[in-house]
Amino acid sequence: MLKPQDVITCLKLLTSAEQPLGYESLATELHVGLGSAHRSVQRLSDAGLVKAGRKVNHSALLEFILHGIRYVYYVKPGELTRGMPTAHAAPPLAGMISPSSDIPVWPDPQGGVRGQAVTPLHKEAPNAARRDPKLYELLALVDAIRIGRARERKLAEDQLRKRLR
């Protein structure tokens, strides 16, 4: 069975496709242990989301994100907290949608925005996203699919389709 961290691992493999990461680099970038990174890639491979050589199966990943992730890793925005913007409040959707009072954020003491708490797919997602802007955008798009209304999900879908071609 896939774990939430596996989605982040898959997205990280996608952002580093030009320079494939070894397991040590993958673990460092995602702030997880070496064994966790290896097991994550193995689960992704078993699920058909990653092919030989740690190449992401773009069509399978897109299908999973668009049709399954909001049901498997559902989340409801919680209390007001300080954190890092996600979903429609983060790039690339932030410029496409008018700001509203319900800003979704990953709770994070280093975050500078006050909004409704959204549990990230993995507790280290904010740290990994700070290190990799492309990963941050992909995670925000996934969160828009997870928590967004129809318009936000459609915009996120369009952006994901562009990135996963």
Distance of CA 164 to the CA centre of its chain: 13
pTM of the model: 0.94
Q: How far apart are CA 104 and CA 114, in angstroms?
A: 9
Q: Which residues contact 25 (CB under 8 A, 6 or more apart)?
A: none
pLDDT tens for residues 98-133? 766 789 999 999 888 999 999 999 999 999 999 999
pLDDT tens for residues 20-40? 889 999 999 999 999 999 999
| Domains (range + CATH), the chain | 4-72 (1.10.10), 80-163 (no CATH)
